[in-house]
Amino acid sequence: MQVRITVIESPPGSLIRVDGWLAGDGVAELLRVVDSSAAPASLLLRDLRGADAAGIAALRAMEDRGLALRDPSPYIRLMLAEAGSHEAPESLRRRHSETPVKTRGHA
């Protein structure tokens, strides 16, 4: 399966939908599309099924540049977290921070 990239332009920016498998020439095409899209741009990853190492690295780099990665599958979130083990993606940080932490008081 190859990647399908669809751009939805609407004020104030662009929604870039990425479907299929992000690899090879698809990574370069996604970077080209993102660079030519109206800012602020976000990536809708709901139907992204997988990506090779270059695809995950590109997604991490785009997230680091401030692009929102919207609705990634648990599998893609895991791949992004492993690729940037020094820091989890914003979606994982937000979810984790909402989890209550139990602490013991000192007696």
Residues constituting the chain: 107
Tokens of 73: 């599958």
How confident is the model over 53-62, as a mean pLDDT?
A: 96
| Parallel, antiparallel or unpaired: strands 48-51 and 68-70 | unpaired
Q: Which H/E stretch holds residue 59? A: helix 53-64
Domain definitions of the chain by residue range: 4-97
Of 45, 49, 52, 54, the C-alpha closest to 89 is 45
pTM above 0.85, yes or no: no
List of residues 6+ apart from 12 with CB closer than 8 A: 38, 40
CATH code of 4-97, in short, is 3.30.750.24
Of 31, 92, 91, the C-alpha closest to 65 is 31
> Is it the case that residue 96 has pLDDT exceeding 50?
no
What per-residue confidence (pLDDT) applies to 83?
A: 84
> Is it the case that residue 87 has pLDDT exceeding 60?
no
> Is it the case that residue 30 has pLDDT exceeding 50?
yes
